[in-house]
Structure 1
């Protein structure tokens, strides 16, 4: 009798534990499209843009670099490689902004970033990190494109 009760308790715990860990909203098609793992996550390259070593007061040069910077951002969005981007408020660490890139390697990230004149000309330096986050981040771009009133 004790054996039967123990077996029932073990089976109940296994079923109950698995039932709690299963997502009733899971969409296998969407998870596959977003390349999500079983946790709904994936790997990205997280980019920190910092003030670079180039210092200049040449306004035309700076304007040219920042035009290239914005053009590259728009191209990476169009190519579905840039997931999140944004500037930072002034800070002591000289961090100017961040990107989250939907790429597998630092080499691929560097190839994308070298199209940015502000990086090539060292107005910005970059630090690259592996980052593990929600695979749903790529859906952010589509929504974010519907809420801006004035083009950034």
Structure 2
């Protein structure tokens, strides 16, 4: 009987402790600094980069344009306008990479896309769409800098 009572009490305490929700600590200052809404989310513009129509560029010209493409990515990231960028692995859809712009409108994103030399030269084509995601995404680059041994 004592063992049964002990087991019952043990399970009740376990049930109570597991059923209590973990307290989430809302950081109002951080939320405001990231322009988060009440859900911790915000608007971005997602950009899908595809192969462009320019199929005649020489290897040397393409290399120079893609060096400018990378420099532009780094510039936009430092300005806080680009929160995520990266290439796709080889695929059969002509998808080349993505950008996530830290802007709210397609018009703002178009202006940023026009600063990319590879897009200007039609080596890449940009498809833009509004996107709603966590405001914390903006912190990704700070973390990346801490884990990248070699800088691009």
TM-score (norm: length of structure 2): 0.82
Q: Report the Cα distance in structure 1 between the residues aligned to 2:142 and 2:37, rounded to whole angstroms.
A: 22
Q: Report the Cα distance in structure 2 between the residues aligned to 1:143 and 1:24, rounded to whole angstroms.
A: 22
Q: Which runs of 5+ in 2 are unaligned?
A: 1-19
Q: What whole-Å deviation, never above 9, does each CA across 1:116-140 have from its counterpart, x for those lacking one?
A: 1100010000100111000000111
List aligned pairs for 1:1-150, cutoff 5 A: 24-56=24-56, 58-150=58-150
Q: What whole-Å deviation, never above 9, does each CA across 1:24-46 have from its counterpart, x for those lacking one?
A: 31011110000000000001000
Other structure's SS at 2:122 match: coil
Post-superposition shift, 1:57? 5.1
Q: Report the Cα distance in structure 2 between the residues aligned to 1:32 and 1:118, rounded to whole angstroms.
A: 35
Of 74-83 and 57-66, the range deviating more from structure 2 = 57-66
Q: Which runs of 5+ in 1 are unaligned?
A: 1-19
TM-score (norm: length of structure 1): 0.82
Q: Report the Cα distance in structure 2 between the residues aligned to 1:24 and 1:90, rounded to whole angstroms.
A: 41
Q: Report the Cα distance in structure 1 between the residues aligned to 2:62 and 2:24, rounded to whole angstroms.
A: 52
Other structure's SS at 2:75 match: helix
Q: Report the Cα distance in structure 1 between the residues aligned to 2:90 and 2:63, rounded to whole angstroms.
A: 20
Post-superposition shift, 1:107? 1.2
Greater Rg by CA: 2
Matched pairs, number = 133
Structure 1 residue runs of 4 or more that deviate by more than 6 Å after TM superposition: none
Other structure's SS at 2:100 match: strand
